A = this chain, B = another copy of it.
Amino acid sequence: MNKNYIIPNEWSIIEEVFDTENVKASESLFSIGNGAMGQRANFEEDYSGETLQGSYIGGIYYPDKTRVGWWKNGYPEYFAKVLNAPSWIGIHIQINNTNLDLNSCNVSNFRRELNMKEGWLSRSFNATLQTGEEIRVEAKRLISIELNEVGAIEYSIKAINFSGEITFSPYLDAGIVNEDSNYNEYFWETLNIVEGENKGAIYSKTLKTEFHVATAMQISLELNNEKVSVSHETNVQEKSLTYTYKLNVSEGDTATIYKYGSYVSSLNYKNSELIEASLSNVQKATELGFEDLLKLQKQSWAEIWKTSDIIIEGDIKAQQGIRFNIFQLNQTYLGTDARLNIGPKGFTGEKYGGSTYWDTEAYCIPFYMATKDSNVAKNLLLYRYNQLDKAIENAEKLGFKNGAALYPMVTMNGEECHNEWEITFEEIHRNGAMIYGIYNYVNYTQDFEYIPKFGLEVIIAVARFWHQRANFSADKNKYVILGVTGPNEYENNINNNFYTNYLAKWCIEYAIDCLNKVKHNYSEDFNRVIVKTKLAKTETDKWMNVADNMYFPFSEEHNVYLQQDGFLDKELIPVADLPKSERPINQKWSWDRILRSCYIKQADVLQGMYLFEDKFSKEELERHFDFYEPITVHESSLSPCVHSILAASIDRMPKAYEQYVRTSRLDLDDYNHEVDEGCHITSMAGTWMSIVQGFGGMRVRENGILSFNPQIPEQWKSFSFTINFRNQTLKVQVNQTEITFELDGASDLQIKVNDKTITVTPNNLVTV
């Protein structure tokens, strides 16, 4: 554990000491968002210390010219970057003409709270300026879920020991940059700045992509809780608009500014409507007022928590951890806009670029599927369906033919925007995740119709890819897949990665299975797809030949599948024997040393066994867990959750609990030394899975039956979670002695609990 300053609390993230060392970490942790936009918890007032400014609008990106050391054929020309957008939160503050800057005054009674139950961020502190004036500041901020183009700030200053002048200068700033710009270029151009009485807007567009965005603000002021009308000076600069309000205060007075902000973009409006729409939004927000916006926000979050909360009794840090994960996931993506996806940093940072990784299919779909209406998961699948043509183009660039598709490693619009050959070209297992996501969705929802209507085309294109990507090894008399990177990115360009080979074989088998089902039950769709894809029986026979004869590296000595060919040439030294000073190895070791070591970044063989648990016996799983987990460094955020789930399924509760704590508090305790750059959003879905699938033992198998094998860590008194299952809501509560089910719906539900089938009837508690 590397940071330890967050105060444990059931519903809130709290810090109580102002420490400049933690500012960037807290900017990430206290981020707020509403699925459509979000922002880091940057201070409203000026701050001259280290900070990463960030305010982001979902779906607005910039294709930054790719930077490489050496160009390889097939690299994308441009890398889609998450864009820091023109900011509306800033308020310069002066006390008797001295600037307020927490980096240069004495700060006490500092407290920051991110209230996850109600969806707001507050900050309060006393500040004594170098000129002697002491003030008390109380600030609160929210990004509205209900009015999803609106945010609001309430910012109060009490004059503790002086009478004089408080100056508020709220501003809009379009002169923002991305820290990760490859060539230090500006990504935005300011087109227009509109002034008005207490309100204004900046109209800008992104270069190249030409997204148009209007950013608006509207201001109102209070003195000692009474509305005051103060005229403002206006300062229009090339890329900013600032209004300056001066208030005379006496000792003990409190001056408050309300700043309402709005983003609207050309994703949702005609360009010509944008300025007006943004101004209308802030007008509406001002009319509602901060208190009413806050009320709406509480309602919205109450709705969200109703179907997604997890309660843990007896372990406040675990409770805080899981709610933080669920909260951030909902801040990032609410499933209301099918054009959006779940970026790995959400709206908490700009790192990694792109918004869509295989994380969506492998980690996020189970969470959204079980906590929201099934349309949300379907939207995530359709996102890939809509990008199939680009995935086929992408595969063509790499020499594949005949409609084979390779989905990008990272994307915003379907085009690949990642450029390390060992990832971009070789981490092809992602293609299997696309299919696993469909399989998972169909099992959970039993919406098989998705396959004939949409999924089958994707399934065929991916099967074609695997068929072409494998080659026959005369030496092994089997099909092999050479030159890949598995989920364990601490190995590159390896041969016969177990996980990749397994997925490839499974994808082909699933394709054949789907083709057969569609042929029999949806003949019209079948014919349409066959014509469109020009698929012939001779081709599927060739696929099956590859699947039937796929090679898997296996060690007779250890009785385990090997992660890749030659794995046993490595020195197998357990992570426990590595000096602490050498960890994390990705920060301490050179790349070649990592590669030739036995250390595994994240589950790889075990990831496969996690996805296809039915195909392996418990003894097999135990053997593989005992072989691989001790050499796994878990330096990917996606690792601990899978290991927690697997450990629970083989009754290793201490290990399951250890890995649960790590996944759920990864960012809160900054295990990976990088939370200042943003939170790990997608792995938060893994945290949710480690409760529901891990301790809850929830599974939905191909036959569609829901089952539970609950276990509870000894540290906990009880835990409970709620899932949306085929339009009914099932609450599961587990304590040390019993399991209780409560169904909110219209019809009985047959579930399996610890291998026995039971019936749960609506609105009755069933205890096992």
In A397-437, which residues have CB < 8 Å from any B CB? 397-399, 419-422, 425-426
Task: Annotate A452-475 by CB proximity to B: 1 below 8 A, 0 otherwise.
Answer: 000000000000000000011111
Partner-binding segment picked from A362-370, A567-575, A688-696, A702-710: A567-575
Contacts of A587 in B (CB 8 A): 73
B73 touches A590 (CB 8 A): yes
In A522-537, which residues have CB < 8 Å from any B CB? none
- Is residue A314 within 8 Å, beta carbon to beta carbon, of the partner chain? no
- Is residue A72 within 8 Å, beta carbon to beta carbon, of the partner chain? yes
Partner-binding segment picked from A189-197, A592-600, A674-682: A592-600
- Is residue A299 within 8 Å, beta carbon to beta carbon, of the partner chain? no
Chain B min CB distance to A79 (Å): 9
- Is residue A542 within 8 Å, beta carbon to beta carbon, of the partner chain? no
B66 touches A588 (CB 8 A): no
B568 touches A475 (CB 8 A): yes
> What is the bound-complex CA distance between A753 and B589, given in angstroms?
54
Instruction: Return the chain B residue nearest A582 by Cβ.
Output: B399
A425 touches B70 (CB 8 A): no
Contacts of A271 in B (CB 8 A): none
Contact of A68 among B69, B426, B471, B494 (CB under 8 A): B69
Instruction: Return the chain B residue nearest A586 by Cβ.
Output: B73
Chain B min CB distance to A401 (Å): 12
- Is residue A296 within 8 Å, beta carbon to beta carbon, of the partner chain? no
Q: Contact size class for A?
A: 35 or more
- Is residue A295 within 8 Å, beta carbon to beta carbon, of the partner chain? no
> What is the bound-complex CA distance between A398 and B566, given in angstroms?
23
Indicate how many identical chains form the complex: 2
B592 touches A476 (CB 8 A): no
B471 touches A592 (CB 8 A): no
A-B contact pairs, 8 of them (CB 8 A): A72-B590, A74-B591, A421-B592, A471-B570, A472-B571, A474-B568, A475-B557, A495-B569
A420 touches B493 (CB 8 A): no
Chain B min CB distance to A20 (Å): 26
- Is residue A565 within 8 Å, beta carbon to beta carbon, of the partner chain? yes
Chain A interfacial positions (CB closer than 8 Å to B): 66-70, 72-74, 183, 397-399, 419-422, 425-426, 471-476, 480, 482-483, 492-496, 557, 565-566, 568-572, 586-593, 595-596
> What is the bound-complex CA distance between A495 and B495, given in angstroms?
11
B493 touches A595 (CB 8 A): yes
Contacts of A397 in B (CB 8 A): 590
A69 touches B72 (CB 8 A): no
> What is the bound-complex CA distance between A572 and B471, given in angstroms?
11
Chain B min CB distance to A408 (Å): 14
> What is the bound-complex CA distance between A66 and B422, given in angstroms?
20
> What is the bound-complex CA distance between A589 and B72, given in angstroms?
9
Most chain B CB inside 10 Å of its own CB: which residue of A495, A557, A586, A588: A495
Chain B min CB distance to A609 (Å): 22
Given A420-B69, A492-B493, is A595 in contact with B471 using a C-beta cutoff of 8 Å? no
> What is the bound-complex CA distance between A482 and B596, given in angstroms?
6
Contact of A590 among B399, B482, B571, B586 (CB under 8 A): B399
> What is the bound-complex CA distance between A480 and B570, given in angstroms?
9
A425 touches B73 (CB 8 A): no
B473 touches A569 (CB 8 A): yes
Contact of A592 among B70, B398, B557 (CB under 8 A): B398
A592 touches B67 (CB 8 A): no
> What is the bound-complex CA distance between A480 and B183, given in angstroms?
42
Instruction: Return the chain B residue nearest A595 by Cβ.
Output: B483
Instruction: Return the chain B residue nearest A587 by Cβ.
Output: B73
Contacts of A586 in B (CB 8 A): 73
Instruction: Return the chain B residue nearest A479 by Cβ.
Output: B569
> What is the bound-complex CA distance between A66 and B70, given in angstroms?
11
Contacts of A568 in B (CB 8 A): 473-475
Chain B min CB distance to A575 (Å): 17
Contacts of A426 in B (CB 8 A): 592
> What is the bound-complex CA distance between A476 and B568, given in angstroms?
8
